């Protein structure tokens, strides 16, 4: 999923969860609006409260970061049905001039 696709998805009115797979410190500095902090090492435990039928979009720092790939794999193994990865991560999001929290 690219930046434009993520923005369209966010404006589509669907029920979704955006997961920031970076560590809490990076999340607190800046994250995509509405994202929840779920460091990759804690995804298995922290994802228990998320509806497995919702669309879940996972991201991390950028193209060279594997945390989002690993987190997406964990979610799929746990039975989540609709998991996507925003591979460009926070780097592409910010480079596109998009807002952060």
pLDDT of residue 20: 98
Domains of the chain plus CATH, in order, are 3-95 (3.40.250.10)
pLDDT of residue 52: 94
| Residue 65 a catalytic site member | no
Q: Which is catalytic among the residues 17, 38, 56, 60?
A: 60
Residue partners of 86: CB distance under 8 A and separation at least 6: 1, 2, 3, 6, 18, 57, 58, 59, 68, 92, 93
pLDDT of residue 75: 97
pLDDT of residue 14: 81
The stretches in the chain having pLDDT less than 70 are: none
Q: Which alpha helices (DSSP H) does 11-88 contain, by range?
A: 24-29, 43-46, 67-77
CB 42 within 8 A of CB 36: no
At which residue do the structure tokens 């926070």 appear?
Answer: 90
């Amino acid at each position: 999923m690219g930046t434009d696709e993520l923005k369209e998805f966010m404006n589509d009115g669907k029920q979704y969860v955006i997961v920031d797979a970076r560590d809490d410190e990076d999340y607190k500095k800046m994250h995509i609006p509405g994202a929840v902090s779920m460091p990759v090492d804690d995804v298995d435990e922290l994802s228990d409260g998320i509806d497995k039928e919702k669309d879940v979009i996972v991201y991390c720092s950028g193209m060279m970061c594997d945390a989002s790939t690993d987190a997406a794999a964990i979610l799929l193994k746990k039975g989540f049905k609709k998991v996507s990865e925003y591979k460009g991560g926070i780097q592409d999001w910010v480079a596109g001039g998009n807002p952060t929290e």
